Amino acid sequence: MVAIQTFLLFGVCLVAHAATISPVVRSRGGIFHGRYLPQFNQVLYLGVKYAPKPVRFAPAELIKDTPGQHFNVTQYGLDCKGYGSDTNLLVAANWTKMGEDCLHLNIIKPKSRETGLPVLLWIYGGGWQQGATSDPRYNMSYIVQQSVLNNKPVIGISINYRMAAFGFINSKEIAKTGNQNLGLRDQRLALKWVNRHISSFGGDPAKVTIWGESAGAYSVGDHINAFNGANEGLFRAAILESGSAIGPPLNGTDWYQHMYDNITASVGCATANDTLQCLRSVPYETIAPYGYQGLEWFHTIDGSFISRPAQQSLTSGKFAKIPLLLGTNTDEGFGVNGVNTDAQAINQLTHSKRWNLNDEQAKRLLDLYPNDPSLGEPYGWGNRTWPENGAQWKRYQSIATDLTMFAPRRLLAERMTACGEDVFSYRWDAPRFNSTPGVIGINHFSEIPFVFGNTQQQITPLGNSSANIELSKLVMRMWTSFAHGLDPNDHGVPNIAKWPRYATPAAANFVFRADTSYVERDDDRLEGVAYINSLVR
């Protein structure tokens, strides 16, 4: 009897020990020891390096294969920058969470013996100035879970990349080295790592869908246009939320020179014989506060990754032809307060860092977007105005949203459809549960809590609304069924309108709402949007 009891206890210990053994992947890249997440029945590999610490203001290099080396990948690695907008993120106490040795990715995989899983790869937004894969708003466990519940399992991947000056610096000194768009090149390197190694984790390198929101979606658009459309087999489809292949202006070196000069002066490099080399030698703690100042570090034409204005790439056919799922929110915003007169509106349109318009173009836009509150944004509010925001606030909001989001979305949808690819376009019309006070309408970022479905954390919760939770379930299943089989309609949720493929002239959007989602014609502001899409920006 004692012997039997001893055997049973020993057996229990064995079972308990087996449950705590970390999952292991052996690949030519190394031996990766991950972590099991029992509440989701998922395996996580966090902080997987795709590149060693790069030389500052220089391209990163793909990490070398070390098939016999062991890696503990159970925790997030360093952030390239914190994920919030609070400047307190740059206080000394946070330096341990940030740094330049931050080029890593995270893999979230259903615990399954299945192989050949499609991959859904997330590129975070944040204006190319901030963001991190460790941001709990981008926890991919919930969306991967829904893919499994829908019998369309995918592997979720999120990637870090350099931002602000560290990822998008430009100047005559930088141009001489050809080292612009480093953040986009980091992303491309991560895609190459995935292409090379994801099969060892059970993924299919031929079934990668790249996915982003805001600057992340603009990044996706840049990858579609990159190298004249040669996607190198790195992705087969894309999802773009509130961003497109035409994004912030492709300003030249003159635009960035004063920003570069400000950094050199701020860290004591202005008088150096080689200012770039001096900047590379400055301690990170010294240069980082200046490298992350402002919201002006954008992508630029560099002659290789980005060869020309995106509108020209789309109209000339020099882009990757792939299936798309893309859309915008009803009231994205991007206007400014205090626009009261035509003259002030023209001044904003011609002097803002975002538009790059001349006087003639600005005046034409005012003709196409009259100062009629019933036509302006936020939409659906009739003649109501908010005079404290400016007498022409609704008009300028409408122009700004169409310039930034709505018109580029339509142009990309039209061009990709014309090339014979399946395109699914949407309009998001459900508000965030805890919208920021003072924010009016269905604004930028409204869809993110629903798409990631995280009901546990407090940053952007869905609340206890059953309608919100059901909408979140629907969108997560649509996104993952698109990544799995290139059709968002395979979601398994009953009584939902079928999302039609985009087709001209009867183009349509799927409208996401918490009450009843539906399909609409994509014909809002036809003349104004057509004019915007005729401009080379």
Catalytic residue positions? 214, 332, 444
Is the bond leading into 431 cis (omega within 30 degrees of zero)? no
Could you give the CA distance from residue 226 to residue 224 in angstroms, rounded to a whole number?
A: 6
Residues in the chain: 537
Secondary structure (3-state) at 123: strand
Secondary structure (3-state) at 122: strand
Is the bond leading into 505 cis (omega within 30 degrees of zero)? yes
Cβ contact 185:59 at 8 Å: yes
Could you give the CA distance from residue 437 to residue 121 in angstroms, rounded to a whole number?
A: 32
Cβ contact 124:162 at 8 Å: no
Cβ contact 79:288 at 8 Å: no
Could you give the CA distance from residue 372 to residue 392 in angstroms, rounded to a whole number?
A: 9
Q: What are phi and psi for residue 312, nearest 5 degrees?
A: -70, -35
Identify the sign of the CA torsion 380, 383, 384, 390.
positive
Q: Which of 332, 320, 314 is nearest to 410 (CA)?
A: 314
Parallel, antiparallel or unpaired: strands 42-49 and 104-110: antiparallel
Q: Which two structure tokens, joined as six digits, stand for 275? A: 């200012």
Parallel, antiparallel or unpaired: strands 104-110 and 155-159: antiparallel
First to last CA, the chain: 83
Could you give the CA distance from residue 40 to residue 111 in angstroms, rounded to a whole number?
A: 9
**Residue showing tokens 């006070």:** 437
Q: Which two structure tokens, joined as six digits, stand for 178? A: 């050809």
